[in-house]
A and B are shown apart, each in its own frame.
Chain A
Amino acid sequence: MIEFDTISVRFQHKKSAVDAVKNVSFRIEKGEIFGIVGTSGAGKSTLLRTINLLQRPTSGRVLIDGHDVTHLQGDALRTLRISIGMIFQQFNLIHTKTVFENVAFAMKVAGKSSAEISTRVYEALELVGLTDKASVYPSTLSGGQKQRVGIARGIVNNPQILLCDEATSALDLETTDSILALLQEINRRLGITIVLITHEMEVVKKIANRVAVMSGGELLELGDVFSVFASPLHPFTQSLVNRTLNLDLPTRIVENCKNPLVKIVYNGDHAEHAIISETVQKFNIDLNILHGKIEYIGGKPFGVLVVQIVGEHAEAEQVLNYLKEKTYKVEVLHG
């Protein structure tokens, strides 16, 4: 368990100062995949780096399993760092060491014997699917393979926690998915707590259990991924979510539409009912679907539909009320 207790980080320059993290408090539970999202400069990396004290907080405390680690020094600090794996956007592999040597270095740092190193490194490479690349240099690997080496290096010492700083931001979509699947497998099989930061809601949606949203160094909201997606509280989060749903219609369609145009949002509780066909049967109208998307977040459906209500004006009003009652949210876009 990781606990941030009123963490603030201030970068002091000659005249100016930047408050990268402002008074942030929350807890990350053991064994969960926890996402931190926010735009560039939100303070995500800075906050993440206070966990292994690559960044010391200006004030506040970081507790790991109940122990205050904020002021650890020397050997105690190194022992803490050995128990926390970390992977990076730019992979940060040692270019002049082979894949094997890169992973082995993490074990050497942890003071492991060479006998132990030679078997355990292969286990870690096996887990990430790179045993055949053990003796090559990183420059010959693809981005996804480099990140797999990074992951092998991050978990080889059986850490309790794995920190991921934009681990997929340098990768294409397909590779991102395979790396996320690997992280999820590691979390399930080994029970390692994963803290990942990203500026993409997509990443969080795919694998995180809970998410914290940061902006300007502040924690805006925090909750399980489904509820943050389904009902974002903060305007900033709403715009983040809308961006990933991306349900923009061409303006031509919106302007030329003679009938009422509504956006229906429905979530887990409603999605499994046949609301659209029920409505059409109940009233003397047609619903013309112009745009739509159903996402599954943690196995629960969450959907958005943009429909046109084709029928008498008086009935349209009733339809709207009926939909409002049956779904999570109805928003009139036009009409």
Chain B
Amino acid sequence: MANTNYTELIDNLIVAFNETFLMCGISLALAIVIGIPLGTLLFITGRGLFWQNRLLNLLGGFLVNIIRSTPFVILLVLLLPFTRLVVGTSIGPVAASVPLGIVAVAFYARLVESALHEVDKGVIEAATAMGATHFQIIKDVLFPEALGGLLRGLTITAISLVGYSAMAGIVGGGGVGDLAIRYGYYRYQTDVMIITVVLLIILVQILQSLGDFSAKKAEKK
């Protein structure tokens, strides 16, 4: 086992955490900006809803399923040309954010759809009976009523992203998970591996608590 230089490790960890935050931050932002509208579209085009559209619903659902059923490592490689097209390079944390973001969007869209399904149909009907427009129903009924579920879904997405981002090392994305694999697994520095894994556990716990707290607050029950 190699001796560990702890000052170097701390520097490495800081860099790695920054990379993790960058990758997860970008993909989470994409999940919110694209995943929410996509999930909403999947919901309102579904059966018995006000935008019922079988073709759009099937198409959207199929796209989401393709992304979700492809193993991430394979997606990472398959998307290399696309990544290069979008960010100009296929190496580094920003490049890794492209496949991560795509996975996050698909993942979160499904969670958004199911959170919206949880909204009491009677409340939607009451709003319809009042004469509300579709936009008003989405904005003033569906989203506020589903907010707790949307936040829980976002928490699950964020935590999964931390896990997925470990594989971003393959395209030089870096990050904490990658650090753990490189030092702990390939160089047999068990102490480094344990430290990073513990830090990752703490990070996930913090995310989970933040998510639970905000979801509870949003549910007003």
A residues contacting B by CB (< 8 A) are 52, 54, 77-82, 84, 86, 88, 90, 92-97, 105-106, 108-110, 137, 139, 153, 163
Contact = CB atoms under 8 A, between A and B. Distances in A.
Interface string B118-130: 0010110111111
Contacts of B145: 94-96
Contacts, number: 72
Given A93-B123, A110-B131, 10 more contacts: A54-B125, A54-B128, A77-B131, A78-B131, A79-B131, A86-B126, A92-B122, A92-B126, A94-B141, A105-B140
A261 B114 CA distance: 64
A109 B120 contact: no
Contacts of A90: 120, 122
Interface in B127-186: 127-133, 136, 140-141, 144-145, 147
B129 A52 contact: yes
Interface of B: 120, 122-123, 125-133, 136, 140-141, 144-145, 147, 218-221
A96 B120 contact: no
B125 A92 contact: yes
Contacts of B136: 108-109
Contact of B220 (A78, A81, A95): A95
A194 to B, nearest CB: 15
A86 B131 contact: no
- Would you call the interface of chain B mostly helix, strand, loop, or mixed? helix
Contacts of A80: 131
Given A95-B220, A95-B221, A88 B126 contact: yes
B131 A81 contact: yes
Contacts of B122: 88, 90, 92
Nearest to B140: A105
A252 B147 CA distance: 62
B130 A81 contact: yes
Contacts of A93: 123, 126
B142 to A, nearest CB: 10
Given A54-B125, A137-B220, A96 B130 contact: no
Given A105-B140, A137-B220, A139-B220, A94 B123 contact: yes
Contacts of A97: 144
For B122, B129, B145, B219, the residue with the greatest tally of chain A CB atoms inside 10 Å of its CB is: B129
A137 B130 CA distance: 20
Q: Which 7 A-B pairs have the closest CB atoms?
A: A81-B131, A92-B126, A78-B131, A92-B122, A82-B131, A96-B144, A86-B129
Contact of A109 (B131, B219, B220, B221): B131
A236 B147 CA distance: 48
A105 B220 contact: no
B151 to A, nearest CB: 12
22 contacts: A54-B128, A79-B131, A81-B129, A81-B131, A82-B131, A86-B130, A88-B122, A88-B125, A90-B120, A90-B122, A92-B120, A93-B123, A94-B140, A95-B123, A95-B145, A108-B136, A109-B127, A109-B130, A109-B133, A110-B131, A137-B221, A163-B129
